[in-house]
Amino acid sequence: MRHASSATSNRRRWAARAGFALLGIATLLGPGPAAGAQPPAAANPAVITTWNEVAVRAIAGPTPHGAGKANAEGFLWFSFVQAAVYNAVNGITGEYDLYRWNARAPKGASPQAAAAAAAHRVLMTYFGANATTAADLDAAYATSLAQIPDGVSKAQGIRYGERAAQRLIRMRANDGRNAPIVFNVPQPTPAGVWRPTPPAGAPFLAPWLSQVDPLMLDSLSQFRPGPPPAIGSDLYRREFEEVRDSGVKLGSSRTAAQTQSALFFFDIAVGPLQAALRDQVTRHGLNISDSARLFAAVDLSLADSVDAVWDAKFHYGWWRPITAIREADNDGDPNTAGVPLWEPFLPTPPYPEWPSGLNSVVAAASTVLSRLNPGGHVDLYITSAGAGETRHYDNATAMQQEAVNARIWSGIHFRTSDEVGRTIGIEVANWALDHYFAPTK
């Protein structure tokens, strides 16, 4: 016991001497690391929502301010911005796997500066030729950078954000955008085949979307559905009668609530949906990595969903209800009667019917949100200017079903087309989250 006590005493004396020695060294060296450390790199998550709002102005805003792409094409452009921002942020924070990139940033770089630089560079590359848009982008960029203290962290973040943007731009070069693809309408046009619809008689909008390179899918035909219900089948006849009676402009069987839903879902897919995402990440207090991830996961899923729908629209070229109902006397089915002056409640978009793009968008967004949010909630407040109201959705299935019905009440889709569009959106969103945007730990 005396031996043990003696050893313990010796260890204590040694520790005390070592402690005094270390204290003396620390005194000679001056303040410790904590006192002289660099401040944390700027990482305010508000930069994500700020630049999403800037992107909406540049992409979907009316000319001359923006490109006016508040249509199916807009989803692809949003995905470019959010993919670059996601990589710029998470290449620094390391919280999530990068999107088709492996370049890590210098330690201490500012993810806030990187996000602003990436978004600015992508938007300037694609939309900076418009002087008004360029001025808005530059002003927003100057404001963003002014909020970050000057120094090495800021400079490194800017350089890394530029690299992330250039990576995305190079990756999407020659991806099939704006390819001279034309949907040839046969003359005379057989029953069931799409043709431009009144009153505008506009040609197929952006048919190149049907063959553009996907962002995440193996191919745009990966989830291609089978053909629509055949003319003469019981299912076709039931759906024909449903949209004829409940989707007509005047004398419809719609209730007031159904009319309101048709109006609500008619204008929310582009700008209002992005605004709803901004509201959600702000209310939930997501950090900069989680905010960038949510926007990227949603917007890349939307882009691939819409492009997969365009693949099917171009492949099947199925006619719209306005054509089917007006031309029913010539469809070969004696059980359907034509209504020559039939008009849908809302204007028919200029592309084939099968399947529904809006339903793919609603399904993809709500599926991503339900998988990323705690408890599987959607928790989305979304505002429709046309309907003059804001709705809150907490359940993906309920939101998706309302969208299915709304397009029938609008008079622009048959029911199975809506349901198939919904399925495509769900499949694409699940594919996205099963293969991308995973935590690194």
Place of tokens 């004829």: 244
Instruction: List residues bridging with 248 in a β-sheet.
Output: 344
CA 424 to chain centre: 15
pLDDT for the residue 64:
83
| Residue 135 tokens, joined | 């001025």
Domain-by-domain residue ranges, the chain? 46-171, 207-435
Average pLDDT over residues 339-345: 98
What CATH fold (topology level) applies to the domain 46-171? Vanadium-containing Chloroperoxidase; domain 1 (1.20.144)
Q: What is the full DSSP assignment across 341-361?
A: T--BSSPPPSS--SS-HHHHH
Per the CB < 8 A criterion, the answer to whether 428 and 217 are in contact is yes
377-406 pLDDT per residue, tens: 999 999 999 999 999 999 999 999 999 999
pLDDT reading at 34 higher than 50: no
Task: Using alpha carbons, select from 46, 48, 42 the residue that is nearest to residue 294.
Answer: 48
Judged on CB neighbours under 10 Å (0-12, 13-18, 19+), 344 is buried
Mean pLDDT, range 351-372, rounded to an integer: 98
Residue 148 pLDDT greater than 80, yes or no: yes
* Confidence band, pLDDT 50/70/90 cuts, at residue 39: confident
pLDDT of residue 24: 36
Mean pLDDT of 311-320: 98
Report d(CA 87, CA 163) in Å as an integer: 10
pLDDT cut 90: percent of the chain above it: 90
> How confident is the model over 409-430, as pLDDT tens digits?
999 999 999 999 999 999 999 9
Give the residues across from 381 on adjacent strands: 392
* DSSP assignment of 118-185: HHHHHHHHHHTTSHHHHHHHHHHHHHHHHTS--SHHHHHHHHHHHHHHHHHHHHTTTSSTT-------
Architecture of the 207-435 domain: Orthogonal Bundle (1.10)
Higher pLDDT, 146 or 65: 146
| CA geometry: angle 167, 172, 176, nearest 5 deg | 170
User: Can you give the three-state secondary structure of 396-411, one letter per residue?
Assistant: HHHHHHHHHHHHHHCC
Taking residues 116-137, report their average pLDDT.
97
Find the mean pLDDT for residues 36-62: 91
pLDDT at 7 > cutoff 70? no
Average pLDDT over residues 37-64: 92
